A and B are shown apart, each in its own frame.
Chain A
Amino acid sequence: MVRRMSVAAPCKLKASDYKSGTKPVWCPGCGDFHVLASLTKAIAALALVPENLAVVSGIGCSSRIPAYLNCYGFHGVHGRALPLATGLKVARPDLTVICAGGDGDGFSIGGNHLLHACRRNVDITYVVMDNEIYGMTKGQPSPTTAPDWDSELAPGGTGVSPFHPLVIALASGANFVARTFAGDVKGTTRTLAEAIGHPGFSFVQILSPCVTFRPDQREWKNKVHPPPVTFTTDPAQAARRVMTDDGFNIGVLYKGSRDIYGQAVERNAEFERDLDAEFLV
């Protein structure tokens, strides 16, 4: 397999140029460091201009990511990152908008917004760093936590079935659906670059281990595996595939081609005069 070393469009900025220099609050070993590395590599590979990129988040460990990036950022309130990103992208379609957060932020308190963001299909990329835990509040079960996981808040486990984010995203109309593993920087970088480039609402679930409250997740690197087949454009097939896998298939699952919400409209130069005329009797 000989591949020509055809060098793609030269990257103007290096991945490290997309870091703000602010030191992360994350624990050493946290998967989110990998995600930060992958994200900066992906945006460097896409040669995105820092001032034309906005990263929007909610609350939680992973939601701290905008401050660590050299771009416009918004660290909003818990669970509301997607509406914040939606408003920004609809009002400023010229920007590249990425929304980021964790499983608690995105699937629990912000769960409703996920459904409607998928439906609406605004051209944003939503990156969820899923560690199956609320880390910043010291380890409570989240919607993706296994029912028997023991914790102080739920001794003996919650007994509640986990949420299946990829299936929910597919059923709700997301236009690009993928799962990656944080430790696979190369794969995550590639998938993020693809997701950002794909029109419409792109959803990327990144399995991102929490080494502090879920040291067992250090084993994820031995569990993940690429999918046996390539992506599909049939959401039903994608849903079946992901419903029946072991939860550790990584790669792009689905690529759709739905119409994008919020295209720029033509301004009517006379609109102010028309407004006044409308009320005359």
Chain B
Amino acid sequence: MSNTGKNASQNFTQTELLVHALVIELEAVQSYKDLAEQMEQCGNTEVAALFDKMSKLEAEHAEKIREAAGDVELTELPPWEYRWPGLEPPENIDLAGVHYLMTPHQALELALENELSAMAFFDAIAHDSTDDQVGSLAQEFGDDERQHVAWMKEWLAKYPPPDDDWDYDPDPPAAID
């Protein structure tokens, strides 16, 4: 899918950066939570637990951003007014990228991808911003994501990659209506 517009990463104000950073984390919290529920619903408890853990991890990040904001009031915008590099907030896991038989390894691969894109988002602002204060705050957020990236890689090493027939289901889907 093509981008809907160039991300003007050099023009973020500090409030804007904080709002975007917070929304990135909150969206991630919600989407990991949703995915955990979905996996729970279809019996993939292992991946559900993993997504749940990711959700909590992102919630910690969100809290940290709120702290960084101090007295600055962070008010959410209508969803279409955010400036993301793609269609969605960078850390927002693609709901369409999941499968009910997916393995923890695959789930972590998705998570890693998200952390990388979040990191890139903040790094770009840190690099491009003409405002030093904004630049250093973005740098800080980028470093936090770097930490997450390192963890994802660590966890990934613990789970074996999926077999070739990971998505094989001997039973047909159920007809329910």
Total B residues in contact with A, Cβ cutoff 8 Å: 46
Chain B proximity mask over A215-247: 1 for CB below 8 Å, otherwise 0: 000100111111000000000000000000000
Query: Given contacts A8-B77, A193-B78, are A27 and B96 in contact (CB under 8 A)?
Result: no
How far, in whole Å, are A42 and B172 apart by their CA atoms in the complex? 36
Contacts of B143 in A (CB 8 A): none
Interface assignment of B100: CB less than 8 Å from any CB of chain A = yes
Q: Which of A24, A59, A211 contacts B96 (CB 8 A)?
A: A211
How far, in whole Å, are A14 and B78 apart by their CA atoms in the complex? 11
Total A residues in contact with B, Cβ cutoff 8 Å: 54
Whether the Cβ atoms of A221 and B11 lie closer than 8 Å is no
How far, in whole Å, are A31 and B98 apart by their CA atoms in the complex? 11
Q: Is the interface of A mostly helix, strand, loop or mixed?
A: loop
Q: Which of A23, A190, A213, A224 contacts B41 (CB 8 A)?
A: A23
Whether the Cβ atoms of B15 and A186 lie closer than 8 Å is no
How far, in whole Å, are A59 and B176 apart by their CA atoms in the complex? 11
Q: Which of A29, A189, A213 contacts B173 (CB 8 A)?
A: A213
Q: Is the interface of B mostly helix, strand, loop or mixed?
A: loop
Whether the Cβ atoms of B95 and A27 lie closer than 8 Å is no
Residue on A nearest B73 in the bound complex, by CB? A7
Interface assignment of B45: CB less than 8 Å from any CB of chain A = no
How far, in whole Å, are A41 and B100 apart by their CA atoms in the complex? 25
How far, in whole Å, are A242 and B41 apart by their CA atoms in the complex? 39
Residue on A nearest B34 in the bound complex, by CB? A33
Residue on B nearest A137 in the bound complex, by CB? B175
Q: A50 → chain B, closest Cβ, in Å?
A: 18
Stretch at the interface among A108-116, A177-185, A259-267: A177-185
Q: A208 → chain B, closest Cβ, in Å?
A: 10
Q: Which residues of A contact B (CB under 8 A)?
A: 1-3, 5, 7-8, 10-11, 14-16, 23-31, 33-34, 37, 41-42, 45, 59-61, 136-139, 181-187, 189-190, 193, 209, 211-213, 218, 221-226
Instruction: Add 8 more A-B contacts to A8-B81, A28-B42, A28-B44 (CB < 8 A).
Output: A3-B83, A5-B16, A10-B76, A33-B38, A37-B95, A184-B87, A186-B79, A187-B80
